[in-house]
Structure 1
Amino acid sequence: MSNTDIRSISDQDLVQQYINGHEASLEELIRRHKSKIYTSIYHLVKDSYLAEDIFQDTFIKVINTLKTSKYNEEGKFLPWVIRISHNLVIDHFRKEKRKPMVANVEGFDIFDVIKVHDESTEDRMIREQNHKDLRVLIHLLPSEQKEVLIMRHFGELSFKEISDITGVSINTALGRMRYALNNLRKMMQTKELALKNI
């Protein structure tokens, strides 16, 4: 099977092919999702070496689960892997006797996933400044709100998955997300007013 063929296959089919002994399918799944998974771990642990260790532990667990045919997350490979990685992060912090904190959001950008084509230099500069401002504002959010925002928008987890990982009810997770977005909106409006008054 060529690289072009394998890249057009769904995650679910790749998982099935890997279970059936096609090793390259797992490599494709890792290539496809490594950046999102690693970044979502890094923003919780704030340490690149620890994030790399947890990333590797995550895929050891993924491989073991797939090899023992215990995988049953129909079509939801990425959220499943991120849930495993976040559980490993929580286990790490439990061992360390401290609660997971969402990292300073340097490098985190909700919009990184969006590819921007055919934009002028001026548009690009405005977009980059807006993203930089947004990163700063996200950093100012309380840690629980920041955590839910990153899991939801970057990790693409459902509120049920976020609630399982963080140990709070779905309503609490929804509430934290609502507060995070409201706080971001207020901070953006305050910043706009401050700029107008300069």
Structure 2
Amino acid sequence: MDNLQDSQLVHDYINGKEIALEHLVYRHKQRVYSFIYSKVLDRDVAEDIFQDTFIKVIRTLKRGNYNEEGKFLPWVMRIAHNLVIDYFRKNNRMPKFEENGDFSIFSVLSDGNLNAEKQLIKSQVENDVRKLIEELPEDQKMVLEMRMYRDMSFKEISEITGVSINTALGRMRYALINMRKLIEKHNIVLTD
């Protein structure tokens, strides 16, 4: 079963082969869980949302409402993303999501309507973020600063740095991945 396509496993599960779902979950659990955890930064909450994601997957498949043949993982990731948004809405801690669906650690810096306490927290977060940026490799730090602090497009960044747009995008991606790792390593909290 390990070499079957997702679409075949979905088909088998819908037709009563329960083990097919086990293979699907096992195949994608790391990616789905990592995605959820990167948004909520809490292992217990991430596990709950992960379980809720697959409960929703099972219910949809059992009802026969799944119709995205061959696009199983993107469908599951969309369910997980929606459940993450629901979690933040319920807890009045809604982060801002960019068009690409990724949570931006910089969104906590953009709220201009802050009281004195929140202004102090925002200032501390800014300091923490700047310290983390200093720990990044130089090429990642440069792209991140151009994008986040100078609001430059990736086209502009690629022209200035002399690399392709894809390389600039890759450096930004790795910068954000490394920032998340540094946040976890230093136990920094970016929201109140």
Q: Output the TM-score relative to the length of structure 1.
A: 0.52
What is the deviation of 1:139? Answer: 8.2
Judged with a 3 Å threshold, the aligned counterparts in structure 2 of structure 1 residues 20 and 139 are, in CA distance, closer, same or farther, namely farther
Identity of aligned residues (%): 52
What is the deviation of 1:181? Answer: 2.5
- Structure 2: distance between partners of 1:71 and 1:182: 33
Indicate the structure whose relative CO is greater, using CA pairs within 8 Å and at least 6 residues apart.
1
Cα deviation digits, residues 34-64 of structure 1 (max 9, x gap): 0000000000101111000000000000000
1:181 is the counterpart of 2:169 = yes
Aligned residue identity for 2:73: L
1:33 to 20, 28, 32: 28
Structure 1 segments unaligned to the other structure (5+ residues): 1-5, 105-131, 146-176, 188-198
Instruction: State the secondary structure of the residue aligned to 2:59.
Output: helix
Question: How many residues get paired?
Answer: 119
Instruction: State the secondary structure of the residue aligned to 2:4.
Output: coil
Q: Give me the CA root mean square deviation.
A: 3.3
Aligned residue identity for 1:38: Y
Structure-to-structure mapping, 1:131-170, within 5 angstroms: 133=137, 137=141, 142=148
What is the deviation of 1:103? Answer: 7.7
1:98 is the counterpart of 2:93 = yes
Judged with a 3 Å threshold, the aligned counterparts in structure 2 of structure 1 residues 184 and 9 are, in CA distance, closer, same or farther, namely closer
What is the deviation of 1:184? Answer: 3.3
Instruction: State the secondary structure of the residue aligned to 2:64.
Output: coil
Cα deviation digits, residues 140-191 of structure 1 (max 9, x gap): 775xx9xxxxxxxxxxxxxxxxxxxxxxxxxxxxxxx99x829839x8xxxx
What is the deviation of 1:20? Answer: 0.5
Aligned residue identity for 2:61: L
What is the deviation of 1:133? Answer: 3.9
Structure 2 segments unaligned to the other structure (5+ residues): 97-102, 106-135, 152-164, 176-192
Q: Output the TM-score relative to the length of structure 2.
A: 0.54
- Structure 2: distance between partners of 1:80 and 1:184: 25
What is the deviation of 1:24? Answer: 0.6
Structure having the higher Rg: 2
